[in-house]
Structures are given as C-alpha cells and as structure tokens.
Amino acid sequence: MHLTTSSDQLQICLEIATEAALAGGAVLQSYLGKLEEISEKGRSGDLVTVADKDSEAVILDILNRHFPNHAILAEESGKLGNTESEFLWVIDPLDGTTNFAHQYPFFAVSIGLLIAGVPQVGVIFDPFHNELFCAAKGLGATLNRRPINISQTVELSKSLLVTGFGYDRRETTDNNYAEFCHLTHLTQGVRRSGSAALDLAHVACGRLDGYWERAIAPWDIAAGIVLLEEAGGKVTAYDSSPISIDSGRILATNGYIHPFLSEELLRVPSLPFKGILKM
C-alpha cells in the first residue's frame, strides 16, 4: 500500500497505530504481576520480559498486515521489513520495563511513524490507567479522544520537570546527575518516572512543563515528539537546534520555558566530586 502524507491517509495510519497500541497494551495487562522470568539485555538494569516480546509480536502482526511494504524499527526485533521505504514504524512494546517488572504502574506502549525521517504519527497507550494518547501531523493531539494542550507555565522557577537516567549511568560521568541536581534547585521539582514515552505525553497534556534526557533511543521518543508538537509544545536538541531522533538526547517543553531550560542545560556545572562511579 503506497501512502502519501495527506490528512486522510495520516488518519488511517493513526487508526491502525491505535489498534496496535491497544492490542499491545492488552498483552501487558495480562502479564502484570504474573511474570515468571525477567532477563537483562547485556547491560545491568536493561530488562526484557516475555511481556515485551509478546506485546511486540501482536503490534508487528497488525502493522505488517496493513503495511507490508513499510520499514519497522522495534526495540526487541530491530530493523524489519522494507528498509528502503520512506515509511518507518518505530515501536517500543513496553516502555518502562523495570517499572512493569516491579508492578510499578508507570509503563506504556509507544508506536510512532516517521515519514522521510520526520515523526508524523504517534500513539502512546498507558494500559494501567487506560489513557490513550494519539496524534498525527496537522490533526492535533488527544487523550482518550479529547483534545489536549501544553501547560501555560512561563517561568522556570514555577515549572515541574521530568527526566531519566540511562542504563550506562554507572559507567560515565555524563550521566545526567549534575543536570538533575542543578535543575531541582531552579524549579518546583524534577520527577523521574522511568518511561520516556509517558514523560512526553504528560508534557503534552499539561501535567508537566518540560522534559530532558540523554542516552535515549528512537523508539522511546518517536511517538511522543508528534504528540507534544501537535499539543503546542516544542522538541529540540539541548541547544535548541533541530532534534535528530538518533542523537540520544532530547529537550521537550511547553515552549514557554524552552529557552530557559536549554540555557541551564548548557551551563550546568559538573558534580563537585570524582568518586561517583565507584559508589
């Protein structure tokens, strides 16, 4: 099936992505609290479960059935399909695996569609709270079918932020600890949820004012970028230049605090001690 980027065809993609996300979310719910085996994917703390794999399987089945000529990048399966296609589905079947494994209720399915490298469709489904976030380029953003918008916070000092820490945080001093400490003192608080997809969704619907993170993968943010931009927010690199989805870094805000948060990220001082990696 050949698709263009018309609104009608983006809507079709959005509906199919929604179907896939809901199916993946149903799989996650069926496994919650019932996992018998949890594995690591080579790096300490980077977990994978049968829930991740089975959720991804049902998502891939739906997408392949509707779009057999599209390319796919999935967290557990890697690159699939027609790698020459300008249509790339980017899938995280379980964003927040560590949370899920501990039955901490903050995890989601994330499905994004890039067309010629640009995120244009995004669906994030939180099956525990039954919250479905959907967006497509030019079609707006919704939560459970109702339009959403970013917050109106204009001062960094009155903002509530969220961030995360990469699996390599024990191996490098570039681990976001200094940024976390610095911005905790300049804002009303910085949260750490464990799900980048939901972080972006919550900025999009105004629950949070800004989000930044390093060591992030394309499947963590592809859907959320569309969602936030369609809700009126802004997504860039740390220095406010255009974001590269493969760069591993993201700055996402309601737009109002964007220049201030960018400035602070660029000027954050290093932590005052050297033994952090041995602690």
Side chain identity at 170, as an amino acid letter?
Answer: R
Judgement on whether residues 136 and 19 belong to the same structural domain of the protein: yes
How many domains does one find in the chain? 2
CATH number at residue 30: 3.30.540.10
Q: How many CB atoms lie within 10 A of CB 42?
A: 8
Q: Is residue 169 part of a domain?
A: yes
Judgement on whether residues 39 and 116 belong to the same structural domain of the protein: yes
- What is the pairing mode between strands 189-192 and 160-163? parallel
Q: Is residue 114 part of a domain?
A: yes
CB 261 within 8 A of CB 161: yes
The DSSP call for residue 156 is: G
Q: Is residue 31 part of a domain?
A: yes
Q: Report pLDDT for 1.
A: 39
3-state SS assignment for residue 10: helix
Compute the C-alpha angle 95/96/97, nearest 5°. 100
Q: How many CB atoms lie within 10 A of CB 94?
A: 31
3-state SS assignment for residue 221: helix
Judgement on whether residues 139 and 213 belong to the same structural domain of the protein: no
Q: Which of 163, 87, 92, 95 is nearest to 119 (CA)?
A: 87
Q: Report pLDDT for 3.
A: 46
Judgement on whether residues 29 and 107 belong to the same structural domain of the protein: yes
* Residues contacting 262, CB < 8 A, separation 6+: 236, 238, 239, 240, 251
**Number of helices (H), then strands (E), in the chain:** 7, 15
| Helical (H) or strand (E) element with 252 | strand 250-253
Residue 191 has φ and ψ, to the nearest 5°, of -100, 160
Judgement on whether residues 101 and 197 belong to the same structural domain of the protein: no
Side chain identity at 255, as an amino acid letter?
Answer: G
Q: How many CB atoms lie within 10 A of CB 3?
A: 18
Predicted TM-score (pTM) of the model is 0.92
Q: Report pLDDT for 274.
A: 52
Side chain identity at 187, as an amino acid letter?
Answer: T
Task: Supply the range of the domain harboring residue 185.
Answer: 156-270
Q: Report pLDDT for 46.
A: 58
Token output for 109 = 């399915």
From first to last of its 279 residues, the chain has per-residue pLDDT tens of 344 579 999 999 999 999 999 999 999 999 998 877 766 665 555 577 899 999 999 999 999 999 999 999 999 999 999 999 999 999 999 999 999 999 999 999 999 999 999 999 999 999 999 999 999 999 999 999 999 999 999 999 999 999 999 877 777 778 999 999 999 999 999 999 999 999 999 999 999 999 999 999 999 999 999 999 999 999 999 999 999 999 999 999 999 999 999 999 999 976 655 544 554
Q: Report pLDDT for 170.
A: 73
Judgement on whether residues 36 and 137 belong to the same structural domain of the protein: yes
